[in-house]
Chain A
Amino acid sequence: MNGDLKVALVGNPNTGKSTLFNILTGLNQKIGNFPGITVDKKTGNCRLSDGRNAVIIDLPGTYSLYPKSKDETIVFEVLADKNNDVHPDLVIIVSDASNLKRNLLLYTQVADMKIPVVIALNMMDLARKSGTHIDIDALSTRLGVQVVPISARQGENIEKLKEAIQFSSAIPLQNETIKVESIAPGLISKIQEELLIDHPYAALQLAHQHENLRFLSSQESDRIEEIEQEFSFHSQKAQASETIERYNFINSVLKETVRQETNAVSETVSNKIDKVLTHKVWGFLIFFVLLFVIFQSIFAWSEYPMSLIESLFVWLTESAHNVLPPGVLTDLLTDGVIAGLSGVLVFIPQIAILFAFISVLEDTGYMSRVTFMLDKVMRKVGLSGKSVVPMIGGLACAVPSIMSTRNIENWKDRMITIMVTPLVSCSARLPIYTVLISLVVPDKKVAGLINLQGVALMAMYVISIITAIFVAWVMKYLLRAREKGYFIMELPVYRLPRWDNVLLTMYEKVKTFVVEAGKVIIAISIVLWVLATYGPPGKHAAIEKKYSSAEYINKYSPDELELHRSSELLETSFAGVIGKAIEPAIVPLGYDWKIGIALITSFAAREVFVGTMATIYSVNNDDSHISSVTDKMRQARNPETGLPVFTLASSFSLMIFYAFAMQCMSTLAVVYRETKSWKWPLIQFAYMTALAYIASFIVFNLLK
């Protein structure tokens, strides 16, 4: 770490810790990973007025040093392990001044780790409004630490906090909180002695957590286990009595330093809002209207920027072709790399919009109410209330939705949500559905107003959501829980969203997606380009020769010639060869080898299907010619039987295949990023493909 001083931000969730981090560091942030664990390591630089540079480390929000989820163990690890590269010289405890009692629990634990501490008393404005009077000086004297009242949202007193960082002492000066040794007499001193631990509370925490700490060697961990046996240490009982003692200490501190007027104002306002927003009828109604608005906006607002990005890439491809000498490298750059890049960047508007909404919903406190309202239903199928938003977001695009599952603390709930979200029909399936439906479902109205094609389209969406819920229910029994599921959750008071924070979240998520998913997508795009461009030697040369012969040049116009040529080249390419090779496997689903090619090329992204169909059936590949794709597909016949390729049975079979199959490498890449292992994307790919195959087989045979 490059800096003169390392400062860690520690605090409860909903205390404005991230806001403070953003104010202190601005855009000078770096998001990395703690090795081997799915927790973002957010660090940033903050220049102090004496010219020194403080590295600020944002640690996950937690209510206590006893972790409730695996991710929270990182807080203790960083504080306890002096060799950790972000082990802080100073900890800023970010506390909610309007809820000091519960916030001070974490303070007393961190203080006992004997690291220099400063308290940032956030949300002072809220505390004042709710009639809480805090005697800052008395609190500071009583605890023996600097206490800086701030309001991160309003940017109040941030300079004072920076001064406090600047003048912080290098040695811990905080007063004693509780008598730690009395919690486990003998055991603590023995661990301290044998493992050379400086402070008793660190030793006690090691006794509790040694099994999950990665900086301990297995011998050290085993030795702690033996010492525990020797002193018959009961972890939960010790933890319970420690918590009670800490609260006794806190109560005595608060009695001397805090005066509470009756009736918290913000609390009653929040209660009034909750009466409507979590109402039996209005609550659900408002929620669904909100979803509708979000879903509509993701489509409507992203349409223009998305087409702008697309045309930018068309322009880029053309310019590259014009400027660079023709050849394989130019083709690789334009059709492989740039095409792959455009596949990534085209999602930026959707990701940005979805996260803008999510960030507003979280910031205002509404998200925890959604969780509160829907927890019961979602729990029945193995999900949690927190799975609702990602799954709804899946209707637009699974990529940002899977990124948004971070909010789900429980590992099992989060994994199930990640595993089923790609089943929800995303916007990329829409062009496939519309092309195939217009091919086989008559454009007729039933009972005067219900359009049959519309019904078919809606059916596809309903099927996809039902399947996602069903798979979640199955996975509930297959996945083993890593931790007991809790729903003990704070319901924060409603607040106005912070727009700068919304913008920052958008920027951060987009950046993560482009960098992390982008790498994988470009690599796969290049592979697919090679497969579609090259073929077994000899064949391609023969086609090139055929189309450059005088007979063909006279027969077709240059455009037609090019289309026939490229279509035939694709047929004989490796992709075409693979398409023919897999034909026996897909004939039972009602597909021929040409559809096989589309299945392969659209592995990159589903929307490639229409483009590939267009290429194979030799039509101009642009939107104004969509109808002609349909026409060509309608005319397509099986050369042996003479029957149409796209019947009702084969078309629905194909739609079901695309509804269920994991034909999206962006999603696979993001699942890899979020789970930090290839195991989950592979399982997901396997089960979705199997599901798609079986379901399509059934559909084809039922409708045949």
Chain B
Amino acid sequence: MKLSQLRPGQTGIIKEFTDLEMSIKLMEMGCLPGESIVVERFAPLGDPMAITVSGYQLSLRKLEASTIILH
């Protein structure tokens, strides 16, 4: 299951990343394996999306979210 497939309100736990370069940026921002993510909302036009991770809100494009694999 990819993060980009979740709907608003759904929760997931990060398992791994499919893109090494992107994973570094995401991990720096607190998206670490084992960390739980809540999808808050999608932008009015469907992209990007807003998630809550490590206690704050992060926005990322769907393409970037699709590199995050959830448990």
A residues whose Cβ falls under 8 Å from a Cβ of B: 63-64, 66, 68, 98-99, 101-102, 105, 130, 236-237, 239-240, 243-244, 247, 260, 264, 267, 270-271, 274-275, 278-280, 283-284, 368, 372-373, 375-377, 484, 486-493
Q: Which residues of B contact A267 (CB under 8 A)?
A: 52, 55-57
- Report yes or no: B28 in contact with A99, Cβ–Cβ below 8 A: no
Interface of A is mostly: helix
- Report yes or no: A375 in contact with B61, Cβ–Cβ below 8 A: yes
What distance in Å separates the Cβ of B25 from its nearest Cβ neighbour in chain A? 5
What distance in Å separates the Cβ of A382 from its nearest Cβ neighbour in chain B? 15
Q: Which residues of B contact A244 (CB under 8 A)?
A: 27, 32-33
A372–B51 CA distance with the chains assembled, in angstroms: 12
Q: Which residues of A contact B47 (CB under 8 A)?
A: 375-376
Q: Which residues of A contact B44 (CB under 8 A)?
A: 278-280, 283-284, 373
The number of inter-chain residue pairs (CB within 8 angstroms) is 107
Contact of A490 among B20, B33, B46, B58 (CB under 8 A): B58
Contact of B59 among A264, A271, A487 (CB under 8 A): A487
Interface centre among B41, B52, B59, B60 (most CB of A within 10 A): B59
A-B contact pairs, 26 of them (CB 8 A): A63-B29, A64-B28, A66-B28, A98-B55, A99-B56, A102-B29, A102-B30, A130-B55, A236-B24, A240-B27, A244-B27, A244-B33, A260-B55, A270-B57, A271-B40, A278-B44, A372-B59, A375-B61, A376-B47, A376-B48, A486-B64, A487-B64, A488-B60, A490-B57, A490-B59, A492-B57
Q: Which residues of B contact A101 (CB under 8 A)?
A: 30, 54-55
What distance in Å separates the Cβ of B66 from its nearest Cβ neighbour in chain A? 13
Q: A278-B43, A373-B43, A484-B21 are in contact. Are A490 and B56 (CB under 8 A)?
A: yes
B11 at the interface (CB under 8 A from A): no
- Report yes or no: B60 in contact with A487, Cβ–Cβ below 8 A: yes
Q: Which residues of B contact A270 (CB under 8 A)?
A: 57
- Report yes or no: A489 in contact with B59, Cβ–Cβ below 8 A: yes
Query: Which 3 A/B pairs are nearest by Cβ-Cβ distance?
Result: A491-B57, A102-B30, A376-B45
A105–B24 CA distance with the chains assembled, in angstroms: 13
- Report yes or no: B21 in contact with A488, Cβ–Cβ below 8 A: no
| Nearest chain A residue, comparing its CB with the CB of B23 | A240
- Report yes or no: B24 in contact with A489, Cβ–Cβ below 8 A: no
Q: Which residues of B contact A274 (CB under 8 A)?
A: 40-41, 50
- Report yes or no: A66 in contact with B24, Cβ–Cβ below 8 A: yes
B69 at the interface (CB under 8 A from A): no
A488–B33 CA distance with the chains assembled, in angstroms: 17
A181–B46 CA distance with the chains assembled, in angstroms: 44
Contact of A237 among B20, B28, B55 (CB under 8 A): B20
A142–B18 CA distance with the chains assembled, in angstroms: 35
A264–B40 CA distance with the chains assembled, in angstroms: 14
A267–B47 CA distance with the chains assembled, in angstroms: 22
